[in-house]
Amino acid sequence: MNNPVLNVNAMSKDFGGIRALDEVDLKVADREIVALIGPNGAGKTTFFNCITGIYTPTSGDVLIDPSAEGRTVRINGRKPNHVTELGMARTFQNIRLFPSMTALENVMIGTHCRTKASIWGAISRNPATRREEQAVIQRSYDLLELVGLENYVNELASNIPYGKQRRLEIARALATDPFLLLLDEPAAGMNPHETKELERLILKIREKFNISIMLIEHDMKMVMSMSDRIYVLDYGRMIADGTPEEIAANPDVIKAYLGEDHDD
């Protein structure tokens, strides 16, 4: 097996006296779909925030290896924009689009760290800048088409229906050209039909871009049917990991979700 693209080693995060994450280990292999599940407040989003640089982990290592060839980089404490530049892009649980920009512009923002037009380039509009700009526009449009938003290209992000906003966020994250896509509850608030479509989209993205995907999700049907491996987080500790079948049969996981029986 190749080197994992993301390797989290005994990572902890304290907020004052509260240990939100306790020595968490997690690995994502190349082209793998990994799901992170757990009850509300288990620390899943904190985990995402720690590996994407929004929080700095209190201890432990976050190692990435974009090409899966053994050249690892430690990214603890790097700034979020630097992490994105290195190739980890995310979406947010509570959608964070840029509401007064159009769908196309939202995706174009994603290409920011891969382009380099300067102030002078912007004012003089020299051929290099024009070429780059045109390439950015075309690529952004293609991504919108991929996620099925070709009818909303020039619509303001705030005017797009909720389910499509989630897709727009995915397109924006893809525009940063990631090796690992982190999706924070992509199916939240979607009906079963939309969830099914989203599942197809995520699988298509993996095929098309050859990237790894990690997602936090509460929709068990979706998680069970599409993930290669599942990690379960409870009270900041990783209580189980394995294939969907193993997780479904794991007594610890069932206990975490359904609660302990105190009657006996």
Partner 1 sequence: MSETKSMNQQGFLNLFLTAGCDSFPHALRKSFLVAVWFAFLTFPIMVIKVNTIENTVVWHWHKIGYLAVAVFFGSFIWRWLLARKELKKDENREETRIESLLTRVQSHPVLKYLALGVLAAAAAVFPQVFNLYQTNIMISCLLYIVLGLGLNIVVGLAGLLDLGFVAFYAVGAYAYALCNMHWGLNFWFMLPVGAVLGALLGILLGFPVLRLRGDYLAIVTLGFGEIIRLVLENWGEVTMGPSGISSIDRPALFGVKLGVIGSTHYMYYIMIGLVILTIFSVNRLQNSRIGRAWLALREDEIACQAMGIDKMKTKLMAFSLGATWAGMAGVVFAAKTTFINPASFTFWESAIILSIVVIGGMGSIRGVIAGAVILILVPEYLRDFAQFRMLLFGAIMVLVMVFRPQGLISAKRKVYEYKVNTAGAANE
Helix (H, G, I), strand (E, B) or coil at 88: strand
Residue with tokens 């303001």: 156
Per DSSP, 115 falls in state -
Residue 239 CA to residue 254 CA, distance in Å, equals 11
Judged by CB, which is closer to partner 1: 67, or 134? Answer: 134
145 binds partner 1 (CB under 8 A): yes
Token pair for 257: 């979700």
Of these, 29, 63, 68, 153, which contacts partner 1 (CB under 8 A)?
153
Is residue 88 within 8 A of residue 178, CB to CB? The reply is: yes
Rounded CA separation 21/161 (Å): 34
The least CB distance from residue 122 to partner 1, in Å, is: 3
45 binding partner 1? (CB under 8 A): no
Cβ 125 to partner 1 shortest distance, Å: 6
Binder among 46, 165, 176, 212 for partner 1 (CB under 8 A): 176
Please tell me whether residue 194 binds partner 1 under the rule CB under 8 A: no
Binding status of residue 156 toward partner 1 by CB under 8 A? yes
- Cα(240)–Cα(195) distance, rounded to whole angstroms? 25
Residues 52-91 as x/- pattern, contact with partner 1 by CB under 8 A: x-x------------------------xxx--xx---xx-
- In the list 29, 63, 68, 101, the residue contacting partner 1 (rule: CB under 8 A) is 101
Out of 12, 72, 102, 126, the only residue in the binding site for partner 1 (CB under 8 A) is 102
77 contacts: CB under 8 Å, gap ≥ 6: 53, 56, 57
Per-residue CA distances from 224 to 48, 199, 231, 248 (Å): 20, 11, 12, 8
Distance CA 239, CA 166 (A): 29
**Which residues are at the interface with partner 1 (CB under 8 A)?**
52, 54, 79-81, 84-85, 89-90, 92, 96-102, 104-105, 108-110, 112-115, 117-119, 121-123, 125, 129, 132-133, 136-138, 140-142, 145-146, 148, 150, 153-154, 156, 159, 172-173, 176
